[in-house]
A and B are shown apart, each in its own frame.
Chain A
Amino acid sequence: MEVEVRDADWSALYDAHYLGLVRLAVNLVDDLATAEDVVQDVFAAAQRNPPPIEPLAYLRTAVVNRARSVLRRRRVARAFGARTTAIELADAADEDVLRTERRSRILAAIAALPVRQKEVVVLRYYEDLRVGEIATTLGISPAAVSTSLARALDALKGVER
C-alpha cells in the first residue's frame, strides 16, 4: 500500500510539473530534446524515494544538477545548442525580427556563460527566485550567488544591440 501511495504522488507531480520543469531545463541545456531527457531522468531517479516535503524545490534542484552534468559532459553540444536556439527563434516571429534577433543574441550569450553563472541567471530571471532561494537550490552561499549574478550581468551587458 505504501508503494502505491508513493507512486501516485510521483505520478501527480510528474503530470503537474513536467512541462514547467522542461521549460526550466531548456533554458539550461538549450534544446528541447535534451531538456526532456533531463526531466525524465530526474523523475526516473526521484520516484525511488518518497516525495520530499517541498517536491517542486527538490525537483528544481535535481533538474539543475542533471542539466549541469549534461553541460559538463557535452560542452561542444552546448555551443551547438545555442546556435540552434537562435535559428528557431529567428523563424518564430516574422513580424518582429529585430526583437527576435535581440532575444537570440541574449540567449546565445547566456548559453556561453560559465555553467554556474548560467544557472544563477536562469533561476533569477526565469524562475524569479530570490538570492537566498537560489543559494539553497544550488547549494552555495548567497554571496557566491550575488557574485555570479554580477559577473553574468557584466558579461550580458556587452551583448550588442
Chain B
Amino acid sequence: MSNDVEAEIRDALRSRALAITEEDLNRRDEPVRSGHRTMLAALAVAAVVAAIAVGVALASAPTHPSTQPGGGQQANSCSLCGPNAPIGIDWRLETVRDKDGTFSSPSPRVRIAFRHDGTLVADDSVNFYSGRYRLTPTGFVITDVASTAAGYAGSDPAVLATQAGMAAVLTTPTARTRGGDIVGYFLVLSAGGYTLTFEAGPPVTQPSTAQVSPTSTGTPTGAPPTYVHGSELPS
C-alpha cells in the first residue's frame, strides 16, 4: 500500500518535471534576478561603486578606523547610504558558508537589522545580539555589542556555523568596520572564514518615530568599539 503511494508520488512528480523541455524554458544567456530587474541594474552599479570604494579605502587604511584620528567621522560621503544602504530592513539569513560547506539557515529567526535610530539587533537562533552602528565610507562600525549567553548543546552544523559566523561578523574588528556587499535583495557579510548571506525581509519596526540620519547616529564620536561578550542584554 505504502509502496503504491510512493510509486504514484514518484510518477506524478517525474511526469510533471520531465514534461518540461528546453523549448519550454525562457532561459536567458546570463542569470538575472527575477523582478525589479531595472532596480537590480541600478543596485548592481551602486554595488560596484561601493565595492570599489571599499577596496580603495581598505587598501589605503587597513587599520581600524577607531585607531585613526577622527575614526570614521571625518568622511563626508557614505558608500552604503542611499538606496544601497542596509538600513531599515530586516535581513533574514539564507545561507552560511564556512570551510566545511554551505548550510541553509537553521531557523527563520536568524536575522540582523540595522535600525534607523543607529541601533542594530541580531539573532543567531541561540543568542540575541544588540548594539549600535555608524556608517562610514568603508561600510559601518559596530559598537556596544551585547548578547545573551545561552549555550547550544547540539551538533547541527548549520546552527554551529551560524553562531560562529554571526559572532565573527559582529565582533571581528575588520569585519565590523568593513561592512558588507549588497546585491539585489542580498546582504553578504564575511568575517573569520564565514560568509553569511542575508535576504531582504520586511522593513524593521521602528522603536520610535524619530528618524535620524545614519551618518550622524551611532556611537558618540571617539568612543572605542566595544564588545561585551557573554553579558546580558540591556533591558
Please give the residue numbers on chain A whose beta carbons come within 8 Å of chain B beta carbons, in ascending order: 10, 14, 18-19, 22-24, 26-27, 32-33, 36-45, 47-49, 52-54, 58, 61-62, 64-65, 69, 85, 89, 92, 102-104, 106-107, 110, 121-122, 125-126, 137-139, 141, 153, 156-157
Query: Which residues of B sit under 8 angstroms from A23, Cβ to Cβ?
Result: 17-18, 20
Query: Which residues of B sit under 8 angstroms from A43, Cβ to Cβ?
Result: 31
Query: Which residues of A sit under 8 angstroms from B15, Cβ to Cβ?
Result: 89, 103
A126 contacts B13, C-beta separation under 8 Å? yes
**Chain A residue with Cβ nearest B107:** A139
A106 to B32, CA, bound (A): 33
CB distance from A127 to the nearest CB of B (A): 9
Q: Is the interface of B mostly helix, strand, loop or mixed?
A: mixed
The tally of CB-CB contacts under 8 A between chains A and B is 124
Query: Which residues of A sit under 8 angstroms from B197, Cβ to Cβ?
Result: 45
B183 contacts A26, C-beta separation under 8 Å? no
B17 contacts A139, C-beta separation under 8 Å? no
Please give the residue numbers on chain B whose beta carbons come within 8 Å of chain A beta carbons, in ascending order: 1-2, 5-6, 8-22, 24-28, 31-35, 94-95, 97, 101-106, 156, 158, 181, 183-184, 186, 188, 195, 197, 199
Query: Which residues of B sit under 8 angstroms from A54, Cβ to Cβ?
Result: 101
CB distance from A129 to the nearest CB of B (A): 12
Q: Contacts A61-B102, A126-B10, A156-B9 known; A49 to B31 CB distance under 8 Å? A: no
CB distance from A136 to the nearest CB of B (A): 9
**A106 CB contact (under 8 Å) in B2, B9, B22, B181:** B9
Query: Which residues of B sit under 8 angstroms from A65, Cβ to Cβ?
Result: 94-95, 104-105
